[in-house]
Chain A
Protein backbone atom coordinates (compact mmCIF):
# COMPACT_ATOMS: atom_id res chain seq x y z
CA UNK A 1 0.00 0.00 0.00
CA UNK A 2 1.30 3.44 -0.99
CA UNK A 3 1.77 5.51 2.11
CA UNK A 4 3.67 8.13 4.05
CA UNK A 5 4.51 6.98 7.57
CA UNK A 6 5.32 9.29 10.45
CA UNK A 7 6.53 8.44 13.93
CA UNK A 8 5.78 9.12 16.66
CA UNK A 9 2.10 10.00 16.27
CA UNK A 10 2.01 11.61 19.69
CA UNK A 11 4.83 13.00 21.79
CA UNK A 12 5.06 15.08 24.94
CA UNK A 13 8.50 16.40 25.71
CA UNK A 14 10.20 19.16 27.67
CA UNK A 15 11.96 22.30 26.55
CA UNK A 16 15.45 21.67 25.25
CA UNK A 17 15.28 17.90 24.85
CA UNK A 18 16.26 17.04 21.30
CA UNK A 19 13.78 15.00 19.33
CA UNK A 20 13.33 13.60 15.86
CA UNK A 21 10.12 12.91 13.99
CA UNK A 22 10.67 10.33 11.30
CA UNK A 23 8.98 10.26 7.92
CA UNK A 24 9.18 7.51 5.34
CA UNK A 25 7.44 7.04 1.99
CA UNK A 26 7.27 3.91 -0.15
CA UNK A 27 6.28 5.52 -3.46
CA UNK A 28 9.75 6.43 -4.73
CA UNK A 29 8.78 10.10 -4.63
CA UNK A 30 11.46 12.69 -5.21
CA UNK A 31 9.76 15.54 -3.36
CA UNK A 32 9.19 15.48 0.38
CA UNK A 33 8.17 18.24 2.77
CA UNK A 34 7.19 19.04 6.33
CA UNK A 35 4.26 21.19 7.43
CA UNK A 36 3.03 22.37 10.76
CA UNK A 37 -0.63 23.02 11.48
CA UNK A 38 -1.74 25.62 14.00
CA UNK A 39 -5.26 26.90 14.77
CA UNK A 40 -6.24 29.82 12.57
CA UNK A 41 -3.14 29.48 10.42
CA UNK A 42 -3.76 26.36 8.40
CA UNK A 43 -0.72 24.37 7.36
CA UNK A 44 2.60 26.09 6.79
CA UNK A 45 5.65 24.58 5.16
CA UNK A 46 8.72 24.13 7.35
CA UNK A 47 11.26 22.52 5.00
CA UNK A 48 11.19 20.70 1.72
CA UNK A 49 13.46 18.45 -0.28
CA UNK A 50 13.52 18.07 -4.04
CA UNK A 51 15.85 15.07 -4.01
CA UNK A 52 18.47 13.25 -1.98
CA UNK A 53 20.87 15.69 -0.32
CA UNK A 54 18.81 18.66 -1.57
CA UNK A 55 16.83 20.53 1.08
CA UNK A 56 15.54 24.06 1.41
CA UNK A 57 13.65 26.25 3.85
CA UNK A 58 9.95 26.74 3.69
CA UNK A 59 8.00 29.53 5.37
CA UNK A 60 8.69 28.67 9.02
CA UNK A 61 12.08 26.90 9.29
CA UNK A 62 13.34 28.48 12.53
CA UNK A 63 14.12 25.91 15.20
CA UNK A 64 14.02 22.93 12.82
CA UNK A 65 16.51 20.87 10.85
CA UNK A 66 16.01 18.21 8.22
CA UNK A 67 18.13 15.75 6.30
CA UNK A 68 17.61 13.70 3.16
CA UNK A 69 20.23 10.99 3.02
CA UNK A 70 17.93 8.47 1.37
CA UNK A 71 15.11 9.00 -1.06
CA UNK A 72 12.47 7.40 1.15
CA UNK A 73 13.28 9.15 4.45
CA UNK A 74 12.98 12.78 5.51
CA UNK A 75 13.30 13.21 9.29
CA UNK A 76 12.43 16.44 11.08
CA UNK A 77 14.80 17.36 13.89
CA UNK A 78 14.10 19.72 16.75
CA UNK A 79 17.49 20.33 18.32
CA UNK A 80 16.17 22.32 21.28
CA UNK A 81 12.38 22.27 21.31
CA UNK A 82 10.49 25.21 22.74
CA UNK A 83 6.80 25.55 23.70
CA UNK A 84 6.05 27.53 20.52
CA UNK A 85 6.84 24.38 18.57
CA UNK A 86 3.85 22.65 20.10
CA UNK A 87 1.89 21.82 17.00
CA UNK A 88 0.53 19.15 14.67
CA UNK A 89 3.14 18.13 12.10
CA UNK A 90 2.58 16.58 8.70
CA UNK A 91 5.05 15.01 6.35
CA UNK A 92 4.12 14.91 2.67
CA UNK A 93 5.56 13.58 -0.56
CA UNK A 94 4.99 13.96 -4.29
CA UNK A 95 6.46 12.82 -7.57
CA UNK A 96 7.78 16.31 -8.05
CA UNK A 97 6.48 16.73 -11.56
CA UNK A 98 3.23 18.15 -12.79
CA UNK A 99 0.92 15.59 -11.23
CA UNK A 100 -0.81 17.91 -8.80
CA UNK A 101 -0.77 15.29 -6.07
CA UNK A 102 0.59 15.54 -2.56
CA UNK A 103 0.43 12.54 -0.23
CA UNK A 104 0.23 13.23 3.49
CA UNK A 105 1.26 11.22 6.50
CA UNK A 106 -1.18 10.81 9.37
CA UNK A 107 0.27 13.63 11.44
CA UNK A 108 2.34 13.86 14.61
CA UNK A 109 0.99 15.74 17.60
CA UNK A 110 3.90 17.30 19.48
CA UNK A 111 3.60 19.03 22.85
CA UNK A 112 6.59 20.83 24.34
CA UNK A 113 6.25 21.69 28.04
Chain B
Protein backbone atom coordinates (compact mmCIF):
# COMPACT_ATOMS: atom_id res chain seq x y z
CA UNK B 1 0.00 0.00 0.00
CA UNK B 2 1.07 3.52 -0.72
CA UNK B 3 1.83 5.85 2.17
CA UNK B 4 2.61 9.55 2.30
CA UNK B 5 4.55 11.17 5.13
CA UNK B 6 4.77 14.85 5.98
CA UNK B 7 7.16 15.21 8.88
CA UNK B 8 6.54 18.89 9.61
CA UNK B 9 3.20 19.41 11.37
CA UNK B 10 3.70 23.18 11.52
CA UNK B 11 5.94 25.74 9.87
CA UNK B 12 6.17 29.48 9.72
CA UNK B 13 7.86 31.93 7.38
CA UNK B 14 8.21 35.67 7.11
CA UNK B 15 6.38 37.40 4.33
CA UNK B 16 8.45 37.60 1.11
CA UNK B 17 10.79 34.81 2.19
CA UNK B 18 11.06 31.27 0.84
CA UNK B 19 9.88 28.13 2.59
CA UNK B 20 10.12 24.44 1.72
CA UNK B 21 7.62 21.82 2.84
CA UNK B 22 8.76 18.20 2.92
CA UNK B 23 7.01 15.08 1.74
CA UNK B 24 8.12 11.50 1.33
CA UNK B 25 6.13 8.59 0.01
CA UNK B 26 6.38 4.87 -0.29
CA UNK B 27 5.23 2.88 -3.30
CA UNK B 28 6.23 -0.01 -5.49
CA UNK B 29 4.54 1.57 -8.51
CA UNK B 30 6.61 3.15 -11.27
CA UNK B 31 3.88 5.33 -12.75
CA UNK B 32 1.97 7.71 -10.52
CA UNK B 33 1.05 11.29 -9.80
CA UNK B 34 2.07 13.49 -6.90
CA UNK B 35 0.19 16.56 -5.73
CA UNK B 36 0.30 19.42 -3.30
CA UNK B 37 -3.05 20.73 -2.13
CA UNK B 38 -3.66 23.90 -0.18
CA UNK B 39 -6.49 24.12 2.34
CA UNK B 40 -7.15 27.67 3.56
CA UNK B 41 -9.53 28.42 6.44
CA UNK B 42 -12.41 28.15 3.97
CA UNK B 43 -11.65 24.37 4.00
CA UNK B 44 -11.69 24.15 0.24
CA UNK B 45 -9.11 21.79 -1.29
CA UNK B 46 -7.14 23.78 -3.84
CA UNK B 47 -4.70 22.07 -6.17
CA UNK B 48 -1.37 23.88 -6.00
CA UNK B 49 0.81 21.74 -8.22
CA UNK B 50 0.93 18.31 -9.83
CA UNK B 51 3.83 16.12 -10.93
CA UNK B 52 3.74 13.09 -13.18
CA UNK B 53 6.29 10.54 -12.04
CA UNK B 54 7.53 9.82 -15.56
CA UNK B 55 8.54 13.45 -16.05
CA UNK B 56 12.05 14.29 -14.92
CA UNK B 57 11.46 18.01 -15.02
CA UNK B 58 10.18 19.50 -11.79
CA UNK B 59 6.76 21.12 -12.02
CA UNK B 60 6.40 24.85 -11.38
CA UNK B 61 3.38 27.12 -10.99
CA UNK B 62 4.32 30.76 -10.52
CA UNK B 63 5.78 31.05 -7.00
CA UNK B 64 5.34 27.33 -6.31
CA UNK B 65 7.81 24.70 -7.41
CA UNK B 66 8.64 21.15 -6.44
CA UNK B 67 11.80 19.15 -5.99
CA UNK B 68 10.89 15.66 -7.16
CA UNK B 69 13.45 12.98 -6.33
CA UNK B 70 12.00 9.74 -7.64
CA UNK B 71 14.72 7.44 -6.40
CA UNK B 72 14.56 8.93 -2.93
CA UNK B 73 10.73 9.04 -3.07
CA UNK B 74 10.77 12.65 -2.03
CA UNK B 75 8.49 15.45 -3.21
CA UNK B 76 9.06 18.80 -1.51
CA UNK B 77 7.20 22.04 -2.20
CA UNK B 78 9.01 25.36 -2.36
CA UNK B 79 7.05 28.58 -1.96
CA UNK B 80 8.95 31.66 -3.04
CA UNK B 81 8.11 35.24 -2.07
CA UNK B 82 5.64 34.01 0.55
CA UNK B 83 2.44 35.99 0.87
CA UNK B 84 -0.04 36.27 3.72
CA UNK B 85 -2.58 34.48 1.55
CA UNK B 86 -0.34 31.41 1.52
CA UNK B 87 -1.26 30.77 5.15
CA UNK B 88 -3.03 27.41 5.04
CA UNK B 89 -2.78 23.69 5.63
CA UNK B 90 -0.80 21.98 2.87
CA UNK B 91 -1.32 18.34 1.98
CA UNK B 92 0.97 16.16 -0.07
CA UNK B 93 -0.87 13.44 -1.98
CA UNK B 94 -0.19 10.42 -4.16
CA UNK B 95 -2.31 8.79 -6.85
CA UNK B 96 -1.53 5.71 -8.87
CA UNK B 97 -1.50 5.98 -12.65
CA UNK B 98 -4.20 3.41 -13.18
CA UNK B 99 -6.67 4.38 -10.45
CA UNK B 100 -7.56 8.04 -10.39
CA UNK B 101 -10.11 7.37 -7.68
CA UNK B 102 -7.73 6.53 -4.85
CA UNK B 103 -5.69 9.44 -3.58
CA UNK B 104 -3.43 8.99 -0.54
CA UNK B 105 -2.74 11.98 1.65
CA UNK B 106 -0.13 12.96 4.15
CA UNK B 107 -1.14 14.31 7.55
CA UNK B 108 -0.58 17.89 6.43
CA UNK B 109 1.67 20.83 7.29
CA UNK B 110 0.16 23.97 8.72
CA UNK B 111 1.99 26.95 7.25
CA UNK B 112 1.75 30.41 8.76
CA UNK B 113 3.10 33.41 6.88
CA UNK B 114 3.99 36.21 9.26
CA UNK B 115 3.88 39.88 8.29
Chain B residues positioned under 8 Å from A48 (CB to CB): 101-102
Chain A residues positioned under 8 Å from B44 (CB to CB): 104, 106-107
Within the complex, which residue of A42, A92, A99, A109 is in contact with B106, where a contact is CB–CB below 8 Å? A42
* Residue on A nearest B101 in the bound complex, by CB: A31
A residues 71-113 near B (Cβ < 8 Å) are 88, 90, 92, 94-102, 104, 106-107, 109
Question: Can you name 19 A-B pairs with beta carbons within 8 Å?
Answer: A31-B101, A32-B101, A40-B107, A42-B6, A42-B91, A42-B107, A43-B91, A48-B101, A50-B101, A58-B102, A92-B103, A96-B100, A99-B100, A100-B33, A100-B52, A102-B100, A102-B101, A106-B44, A109-B43
Interface residue ranges, A against B (CB under 8 Å): 31-33, 35, 40-45, 48, 50, 58, 88, 90, 92, 94-102, 104, 106-107, 109
Interface residue ranges, B against A (CB under 8 Å): 4, 6, 9, 33, 42-45, 50, 52, 91, 95, 97-98, 100-103, 105-108
